A and B are shown apart, each in its own frame.
Chain A
Amino acid sequence: MMTDEVEKVTDDDESQQRPASRRKDPEPRQRSGGGWRFVLLGVALLVAASGSFAWWQTSGDEDRKTAETRDAVLLQARQDIATMNTLDYRKVDAGVKAWGAVTTGTLRDQLTQVSKEDRQLLAEQKKISTGRVVDASVVDLDASSATVIAAVEVTVQDAAKPDSEPTVKRNRFSADIVKVGGRWRIETLQQVAVSLS
């Protein structure tokens, strides 16, 4: 629409100028040559308008936003689920603090209220657990909550028996994730148990 108008203006401009230039203008070539500038301007206006529109449309695309949210949730959840399966007996306080940082709600309350005695117990067990998310997928998603499933490998090294081989366990987890204060946090984390019907 806009461009049509611009081009029309340019045409009018030329048609009015040409007869006039024959009569009066001392530099006819330069004068009539001015038209291409307006054609260029018209084309540039078209490019600018369409480019801005395309940018605006793409950046406002809901599907694209959802896709980005999905990837952000998954990335965060993978890290956080690994954190939840990690604890070093030498750094129990730091480990518990890390759990608190990636969780929210009741789960967070439970984890941060781990008593001194329990912490002592964890330290005395002399275990180093390291969680690794082997694979994960978003199952459900909206703007502020998501469900993620994750296949987790937990390696446990028993420091009381330094010569022993670490044991490796495979676990299946399902996590409900919610966005709190601009960060995705784990609200519930459950093992997916076998239940054949």
Chain B
Amino acid sequence: MRIVRRGWPVALAAVLLVVGLLGWYMSIDLQRSEAADNGAVVDSKTTAQVQASVSQALGRVLTYDYQDPASTEAAADELLAGAARTEYDTLFASLQERAPGQKLMLSAQVQAIGVKELHGSTARLLVFLDQSSRRAKDDESSVSAAQLAVTAKKVGGVWKITQLKPL
């Protein structure tokens, strides 16, 4: 009887400890889940911001006028970084070679855009891009539908495109 009487606080404490630790464990487990860690769509403000920035950036960087290549290059300097920048430089160099002869003009417009992942200052997006090219030399023009996987990083308050992969 005495042992039971003296033991009850310990027994109760043990039960309470188990309940409490389980609660903490479940809470941390839920917070650590992949879903909760991804702010895409959930953080609607940042999602909208990334969408707007990337749409604008793609439009500027992939629009090219043989008469004014400098403004496209300036946009690339401003809005591209990392692997996207390196790849773009290669593309831009070959463009610079043919563009004046063909009198080439390119334009691009984002048709649909979705943020798949948003972790802090890194975002992954799926972009449907409409592109058109016009060669003034022989008056040839074409349109194409592109699908891009884009990675963007926020650097110094600006969302920059760091990866650009056609799907």
Contact = CB atoms under 8 A, between A and B. Distances in A.
A138 B13 CA distance: 47
Contacts of A196: 107, 109, 130, 132, 143
A44 B126 contact: no
Contacts of A193: 145
B8 to A, nearest CB: 9
B128 A64 contact: no
A38 B144 contact: no
Given A47-B21, A172-B128, A135 B9 contact: no
Q: How large is the interface on B (under 10, 10 to 19, 20 to 34, 35 or more residues)?
A: 35 or more
B41 A45 contact: no
A50 B43 CA distance: 27
B40 A138 contact: yes
B27 A44 contact: no
Contacts of B145: 172, 192-194
Most buried by B among A51, A54, A196: A51
A170 B129 CA distance: 13
A66 B39 CA distance: 10
Interface residues of A, number: 50
Given A66-B42, A135-B167, A52 B20 contact: yes
A149 B24 contact: no
B20 A34 contact: no
A70 B47 CA distance: 13
A187 B31 CA distance: 32
Contact of B147 (A37, A43, A134): A134
B81 interface: no
Contact of B41 (A49, A66, A135): A66
B111 A195 contact: yes
Interface string B119-153: 00000011010101000000000011101010000
Nearest to B115: A137
Interface in B51-91: none
Contacts of A151: 126, 128, 147, 167
B13 A43 contact: yes
Nearest to A52: B23
Contacts of A47: 16-17, 20-21, 24
Given A48-B17, A71-B35, A136 B24 contact: no
7 contacts: A37-B13, A40-B13, A43-B13, A48-B16, A50-B20, A51-B19, A58-B31
Given A46-B20, A47-B21, A141-B41, 14 more contacts: A34-B6, A40-B13, A44-B13, A55-B26, A61-B30, A64-B35, A66-B42, A67-B35, A67-B42, A70-B38, A136-B114, A149-B128, A192-B128, A194-B145
Interface of A: 34, 37-38, 40-41, 43-59, 61, 63-64, 66-68, 70-71, 134-141, 148-149, 151, 170, 172, 174, 192-197
Question: Closest 10 A-B residue pairs measured CB to CB?
Answer: A51-B23, A137-B114, A47-B20, A51-B20, A44-B13, A44-B16, A48-B20, A54-B27, A48-B16, A55-B23
